Chain A
Amino acid sequence: MTVIWSRLSCIGLLNRGQRNISFFSNTTPSNWNKVVSDAEKIVGYPTSFMSLRCLLSDELSNVAMHVRKLVGTKHPLLNTARGFVYDSRNNLQMRGLVVLLMSKAAGPSQHTSSDLVSQDMVSGIYPSQRNLAEITELIHTAFLVHRGIVNLKEWANSDGTLKDMQFGNKMAVLSGDFLLANACTGLAQLNNTKVVELISSAIGDLVQGIYHEMPNNVEDKSLTDDITMVTWEEQMFLSHGALLAKSCQAAMELAKHEKDAQGLAYKYGKHLSLGYKLNSDLQPFMKSSSADPVTFGLNSAPVILHRQIVGQEKWHHQLQQAKTIGTQIDYTKLRSSIKLEDGITSTMDLCRYHSSKALESIQFFPSSEAHSALENIARAVTKF
């Protein structure tokens, strides 16, 4: 234990005086925290803080030591590391939790084969399903880290920084790879090649989704113009939904549940993720005070829907008006013009649609605490 604490405090050092900076930029409805903490009690014990095995490894302590050197630099790995310790949204382990709840809600399979003994279950969850939940978190975290790799050429002209960025990248590549490698060996230990294939494909989806993520401040409007809600949904499924959907499905496979149960679990994971993503896309538009500095992606759902509603021409005009000297965008101004139209309400409707689809997919699961927790989570995404 002492090792963990020293390691955490080591990362924590970085955070002194900056507690308010969370890895996730937007804040949560307090409701969400309650739903999550209630749900954690149902699955027996909270999703382990990543894998203990991983945290205690020499490799990660090495990284933690090196990450210290990044204090004061702009490398994104620093923020990611902060997020591990101070996560105000409480959703770092959200995927693992949903996998556990889904496992528990579905219960043991009717046609339990010899190698699955229900006595092995702890709080109604098979050990293999717990491992899967952990693997899901490992993969998710690995990509939080790999997402933050920077292109060195973009830093080449600011001297001094290049070395920091190079070093930060090295640490980010290594620690992300380390988490992924642990996920791989963990997957192999599940002794189920179908699950290995499914989760590996989720990793591929995640990569494709992240690959096409746009940097936050895309100025080139031609880039944003061709993104429709259809492509938004495809991309968001890849980057934010596939891992959860496929992990939920894999949890059913591990308990030898039939194909249709697997399909329903997949649907729940998919729609929940999309609903959740819509909710967080909406957050910048929910803050009432215009004093707060605000930014939002020009490819976030409310903006795309707004653009579709008002038409390309009017959108370009609004975008032009919101531009200050240079190419900077006055987001507060842009937000007010978006707020005047129906883009935001359409986004809310879409979010409610995904929430109801998630609820629908689990309606035939036997009623249980875990089942209601899944329902609460699906409902919580529609609280804006």
Chain B
Amino acid sequence: MAVQWSHCGRWITAAKSSTLLETICGLNRRSNTFAVNSLLGTGTVAGWGNPGLFSRHVHTTSLGSSLFTRYRTKLLYQTPKLCSCKRTHSDAKLIDPFSMAQNDLNHLYDDIKKELFVSKSELKSLCDYYFDGQGKAFRPMIVVLMARACNIHSNRDRDLLPGQRAIAMISEMIHTASLVHDDVIDGSDKRRGKTTINEVWGERKAILAGDFILSAASMALARIGNNTVVSVLSQVIEDLVRGEFMQLGSKENENERFKHYLEKTFKKTASLIANSCKAVCTFYIDTNNPRLQGSLLAGQKRFVLTVGLYPFKVSILVNSDPEVHEIAYQYGRNVGIAFQLVDDVLDFTACANQLGKPSATDLKLGLATGPVLFACQQFPELHAMIMRRFSSSGDVDRAWQYVLESDGVDQTNYLARRYCQEAIRQIGLLRPSPERDALVRLTEMVLTRNK
């Protein structure tokens, strides 16, 4: 991501005639090269998946030209593989990711409610409010499917480790905590068809409830007992806040603006999915852990370890290999961005009750999302409106009209599709499994969902 965007300016000056969309997709393809290279062990940019570290990636620009040559050859090499992925894609039509993950997620909400242990009843009811089983549990579903797919890839054993299930739960908790705070920030009164917490109990209590859910998530995270998992998911919390801050400002320059938008989208939506996916394949044997050393010496491959509440069956093979968590991360990142792009489209196309919130909410909040940014290319009049955050009277309606008259919606959908294709390519690098196919099928659902 970072590489992708640090190249942005360059690419655009090199190809002035190309449209924004071509630019982005071009870049996207180019960024794939990096992935391919690093996966095949030829790239030198091992950490490029971390979008937070811009400075770390700057040096890669000097490798640009050599990587570009590699890109051509690798693309040739990759082509058959891409085709095979497409085939998997159509075969996978029958697999419904939701029902496949169902067993693992049966008691998800009950378990979350148990984590939210408060003696005082009112705070308890605020915290439980959105864990009513009405949510889609989209994030936990991806997480458990990814965990099983990675387990199969690494050791041909699809069993879900308790720590992996805990991560699925934590991902939903972090997500919910951020929704509660977002609703206060945006002043929303409806969420998933329900009245929001701030509307019922007031802003002050809503914020505290969000903080409480976050602290409970953080405790559950700590109890997994794995430092790497803790730091991977703490990064998400930071990204969520930084993403929210990014929404406060608008950029004057068009290309800057798109870069800003996609970076914000990564931070606010994709980071949680990407890092949760990464976290489930991050269980490894901590050789400094005295509780494990005995077993390690004995050459055992699996053993049960109890950390806090969770009895751990640690598999030595889960994830010794860094490539797997990079694949998982990239899948999550691409699906996450696509998910948000589609969400931004639905804000223009879905009717109010379908999404559980009124439409054009983003415009009303002063936010210029993908469809508007694309529309701005056809209708430069939008530029001024974007800069004043649609604050003059009639701006929202006019902007809405411009978007619907432009290709903004189609182009955003197309961009989402490109991100999904990259997700499919990434997941295709794992060993085949029903879970992997379900994750492929899931990208389709992301693109076709209408609510």
Interface residues of A (CB under 8 A from B): 58-59, 62, 66, 115, 143, 146, 149-154, 166, 169-170, 173-174, 176-178, 180-182, 184-185, 187-189, 191-194, 196-197, 200-201, 203-204, 207-208, 210-212
Contacts and interface: CB of A to CB of B under 8 A. Distances in A.
A146 B207 contact: yes
A150 B204 contact: yes
B218 A196 contact: yes
Nearest to A152: B203
B238 interface: yes
The 7 A-B residue pairs whose C-beta atoms are closest, nearest first, are A151-B202, A197-B222, A196-B222, A200-B218, A188-B234, A203-B215, A188-B231
B224 interface: yes
B221 A203 contact: no
Among A146, A200, A212, the one with the most B-chain Cβ atoms within 10 Å of its Cβ is A200
Contacts of A212: 120
Contacts of B120: 208, 211-212
Nearest to A202: B215
Given A150-B204, A151-B202, A166-B187, A181 B238 contact: yes
Interface string B268-297: 000000000000000000001000000000
Contacts of A173: 181, 184-185, 207
Contacts of A201: 215, 219
B208 interface: yes
A178 B245 contact: yes
Contact of A196 (B181, B205, B230): B230
Given A150-B204, A177-B181, A208-B119, 12 more contacts: A59-B245, A151-B202, A151-B203, A152-B202, A173-B184, A177-B241, A181-B240, A184-B218, A188-B235, A200-B222, A207-B212, A211-B205
Contacts of B225: 193
B238 A193 contact: no
A173 B210 CA distance: 10
12 contacts: A59-B242, A149-B184, A151-B203, A184-B238, A185-B237, A191-B227, A196-B218, A196-B221, A203-B211, A203-B215, A207-B123, A208-B212
B204 A184 contact: no
Contacts, number: 130
A174 B212 contact: no
Interface in B115-152: 118-120, 122-123
B248 interface: yes
B444 interface: no
A169 B221 CA distance: 29
Contacts of B248: 62, 66, 174
Contacts of B212: 204, 207-208, 211
Contacts of A210: 208
Contacts of B119: 208
Contacts of A143: 211
A207 B184 CA distance: 17
B218 A146 contact: no
A207 B203 contact: no
Among A170, A177, A192, A208, the one with the most B-chain Cβ atoms within 10 Å of its Cβ is A177
Nearest to B187: A166
B211 A180 contact: yes
B320 interface: no
Contacts of B50: none
Contacts of B122: 211
B6 interface: no
A151 B204 contact: yes
Contacts of B96: none
